[in-house]
Amino acid sequence: MNISLDAYDLKLLAELQRDARTAQSELGLRVNLSTAAVNRRLKRLTDEGVIERYTAQVAPDALGHELSIIVEVEVESERVDQLDALKHSFQACPQVQQCYYVAGECDFVLIFCVRNMAQYTQLSHELFFGNDNVKRFKTLVAMNRVKVGLDVPTTG
SS3 letters across 9-24: HHHHHHHHHHCCCCCH
CA 88 – CA 78 distance, rounded (Å): 14
Predicted TM-score (pTM) of the model is 0.88
Per-residue pLDDT of the chain (156 residues; tens, 9 = 90+): 678 999 999 999 999 999 999 999 999 999 999 999 999 999 999 999 999 999 999 999 999 999 999 999 999 999 999 999 999 999 999 999 999 999 999 999 999 999 999 999 999 999 999 999 999 999 999 999 999 999 999 987
| C-alpha closest to that of 105 among 141, 137, 142 | 137
